[in-house]
Amino acid sequence: QVQLVESGGDSVQPGGSLRLSCTVSGSGNSAVSKAWFRQAPGQEREGVATISDGDSLNYADFVKGRFTISQDRAKNTVYLQMNALKPEDSAMYYCAAVKGNLWTWERLRPSKYDYWGQGTQVTVSS
């Protein structure tokens, strides 16, 4: 059973930066695609960034140029570096994973992921 634990959420001012971390365990030797999603109160969960087992990256248009997803296989950890944060980035951020690879067009869809972390809160406010 794949387990995910997020950390790094915090309250920051607009223009600030945060780095979220997600430790992945239980995947064994399986190829695992990972992603970050977010959900604000009253809104649907939306894809932010994805990284395949082979380091293929995908980003939502609203974070391109500001957020960077990466992974450290030795630490079984995936990161989301968030720069130039805006108030509209405020949300609960979730790490998600699925065994194997996804087609590019489906990588940002929450329904394609089988494993989820508990979430970490990001608040951007002055």
> What's the pLDDT tens digit per position in 38-95?
999 999 999 999 999 889 999 999 998 999 999 999 999 999 999 999 999 999 999 9
What is the Rg, in whole angstroms, of the alpha carbon atoms belonging to the chain? 14
Contact assessment for residue 47 and residue 62, using Cβ atoms and an 8 Å cutoff: no
Contact assessment for residue 114 and residue 98, using Cβ atoms and an 8 Å cutoff: yes
pLDDT at 28 over 90: no
**Residue 78 is which amino acid?**
V
pLDDT at 6 over 90: yes
Judged by DSSP in three states, 60 sits in coil
- Compute CA 40 distance to the chain's CA centroid, rounded to the nearest angstrom: 14
